[in-house]
A and B are shown apart, each in its own frame.
Chain A
Amino acid sequence: MRRITLFAIILISGFIISVNVFGETIAQVTHWELQAVNANGEGIYEETDKVIITGIVLNNPEEMLVPTPATGYMGGQWQIYVQGEDGDHAGTAVYLGQYYSKVGGQSGSYTDEQLLSELCRINHDPNTGYTFAAGDRIKVTGWYKFYKGKLNVNEIHEADPDFDFEMELLEPAVGLPRPEVISLDMVKDSNDGFLFDQTRMTGCEYYQGQLVRVDDVNIIDANNWAPDATVTISDGSGRTFPVKLGIGDGFTRYDCPTGQIDVIGIFDQESSGTTICKDGYRLWVTDYDGNGLVLTDRGHERGNLPGDINTDYKVDLTDFAELAANWLEQRAGLYDCE
Chain B
Amino acid sequence: MRKAFTLIELLVVISIIGLLLGILVPCLSRAKELAKVTVVNAELRQIGLALDMYFENNKKYPPTEADCISGKLTDHLYQLPRALVESHYLTRMSEEEAMSTNLEDRFNHGHTYKYRCAGEIIVDRNRISTSIAASLWIPNHFPSRSSIDPEQGRWYPDIDERKRYSGDYSSYFPRSPVSWVVFSLGPKFSEEWLEEKIGIESRYPVPKELWYTPKQRRGFIVRMRLKQEYQIGSFDE
The chain B residue with its CB closest to the CB of A73 is B72
Are A275 and B123 in touch, CB under 8 angstroms?
no
Are A104 and B125 in touch, CB under 8 angstroms?
no
Q: Which of A56-64, A117-125, A140-148, A201-209 contacts B (4 or more CB under 8 A)?
A: A140-148
Distance in Å from the Cβ of B79 to the closest Cβ of chain A?
9
Are B131 and A24 in touch, CB under 8 angstroms?
yes
Distance in Å from the Cβ of A37 to the closest Cβ of chain B?
11
A43 at the binding interface (Cβ < 8 Å): yes
A172 at the binding interface (Cβ < 8 Å): no
Can you spell out 19 A-B residue pairs with CB atoms less than 8 angstroms apart?
A21-B166, A22-B164, A42-B125, A46-B125, A101-B201, A103-B70, A103-B72, A104-B66, A104-B77, A105-B66, A107-B162, A108-B202, A109-B200, A145-B124, A156-B131, A158-B132, A160-B162, A275-B96, A275-B97
A165 at the binding interface (Cβ < 8 Å): no
A24 CA to B167 CA, complexed, in Å: 12
Chain A residues with CB under 8 A of B123: 104, 145, 156-157
Given A21-B166, A22-B166, A104-B78: A157 touches B200 (CB 8 Å cut-off): no
Interface residue from A109, A145, A275 paired with B68 (Cβ < 8 Å) = A145
B95 at the binding interface (Cβ < 8 Å): yes
B127 at the binding interface (Cβ < 8 Å): yes
Mark contacts of A103-133 with chain B using CB atoms, 8 A cut-off: 1 yes-contact digit, 0 otherwise: 1111111000000000000000000000000
The chain A residue with its CB closest to the CB of B124 is A145
A331 at the binding interface (Cβ < 8 Å): no
A102 at the binding interface (Cβ < 8 Å): yes
The chain B residue with its CB closest to the CB of A154 is B68
Chain A residues with CB under 8 A of B73: 102
Query: Most chain-B Cβ atoms within 10 A of its Cβ — which of A73, A143, A274?
Result: A274
Query: Would you call the interface of chain B mostly helix, strand, loop, or mixed?
Result: loop
Mark contacts of B63-107 with chain A using CB atoms, 8 A cut-off: 1 yes-contact digit, 0 otherwise: 000111111110011100000000000000001111000000000
Query: Most chain-B Cβ atoms within 10 A of its Cβ — which of A24, A107, A163, A276?
Result: A107
Tally of contact residues, B, Cβ under 8 A = 35
Distance in Å from the Cβ of A205 to the closest Cβ of chain B?
17
Are B162 and A106 in touch, CB under 8 angstroms?
yes
Query: Most chain-A Cβ atoms within 10 A of its Cβ — which of B69, B123, B191?
Result: B69
Are A43 and B69 in touch, CB under 8 angstroms?
no
Given A273-B69, A273-B71, A274-B69: A106 touches B125 (CB 8 Å cut-off): no
Given A104-B78, A273-B98: A148 touches B159 (CB 8 Å cut-off): no
Chain B residues with CB under 8 A of A22: 164, 166
Are B127 and A101 in touch, CB under 8 angstroms?
no
Distance in Å from the Cβ of B118 to the closest Cβ of chain A?
10
Distance in Å from the Cβ of A125 to the closest Cβ of chain B?
27
A49 at the binding interface (Cβ < 8 Å): yes
Chain A residues with CB under 8 A of B95: 275
Tally of contact residues, A, Cβ under 8 A = 34
Interface residue from B72, B98, B127, B162 paired with A274 (Cβ < 8 Å) = B98
Query: Would you call the interface of chain A mostly helix, strand, loop, or mixed?
Result: loop
List of 8 A-B pairs having minimum Cβ-Cβ separation, nearest first: A104-B66, A274-B98, A101-B202, A21-B166, A103-B68, A145-B124, A146-B125, A101-B201
B148 at the binding interface (Cβ < 8 Å): no
B51 at the binding interface (Cβ < 8 Å): no
The chain A residue with its CB closest to the CB of B121 is A106
Chain B residues with CB under 8 A of A157: 68, 123
Are B66 and A106 in touch, CB under 8 angstroms?
yes
Interface residue from B121, B130, B133, B200 paired with A101 (Cβ < 8 Å) = B200
Chain B residues with CB under 8 A of A108: 201-202
Distance in Å from the Cβ of A299 to the closest Cβ of chain B?
33
Chain A residues with CB under 8 A of B200: 75, 99, 101-102, 109
The chain B residue with its CB closest to the CB of A145 is B124
A315 CA to B200 CA, complexed, in Å: 47
The chain A residue with its CB closest to the CB of B98 is A274
A338 at the binding interface (Cβ < 8 Å): no
A22 CA to B121 CA, complexed, in Å: 18
A329 at the binding interface (Cβ < 8 Å): no
- Of residues 252 to 279 in A, which have CB atoms within 8 Å of B's CB atoms? 273-276
B135 at the binding interface (Cβ < 8 Å): yes
B134 at the binding interface (Cβ < 8 Å): yes
A274 CA to B99 CA, complexed, in Å: 9
Are B124 and A146 in touch, CB under 8 angstroms?
yes
Are B163 and A103 in touch, CB under 8 angstroms?
no
Mark contacts of A317-330 with chain B using CB atoms, 8 A cut-off: 1 yes-contact digit, 0 otherwise: 00000000000000
The chain A residue with its CB closest to the CB of B166 is A21
Are B201 and A109 in touch, CB under 8 angstroms?
yes
A162 at the binding interface (Cβ < 8 Å): yes
Chain A residues with CB under 8 A of B70: 103-104, 273-274
Mark contacts of B115-127 with chain A using CB atoms, 8 A cut-off: 1 yes-contact digit, 0 otherwise: 0000001011101
